Structure 1
């Protein structure tokens, strides 16, 4: 079951296809980030991971 690397909450397979990095990790999700800026948060957290 895929989870957010930041908050460890479940994310859907569909969410992973859209927002995961090349290795399949999701660094932000609707539970821990504002929906409007989720792509930016994903990129920022991935840089610091």
Structure 2
């Protein structure tokens, strides 16, 4: 069973085929990658960018 390397959430084999790196590792799934984007925006706003 495939899982996100960052948060451990299950991901489908299809997701792995499309989004995994060359070694087959999924670095971020839709759950944690969406949260990462929110953090980036919050950091930019805090810096006044």
TM-score range, shorter chain: 0.5 to 0.7
What is the root-mean-square deviation in Å for CA atoms of aligned residues? 1.2
Unaligned stretches of 5+ residues in structure 2 = 38-49
With normalisation by structure 1, the TM-score equals: 0.65
Unaligned stretches of 5+ residues in structure 1 = 38-49
Name whichever structure is richer in helix by fraction.
Answer: 2
Count of residue pairs the alignment pairs up? 35
Q: Which runs of 4+ in 1 moved over 3 A?
A: none
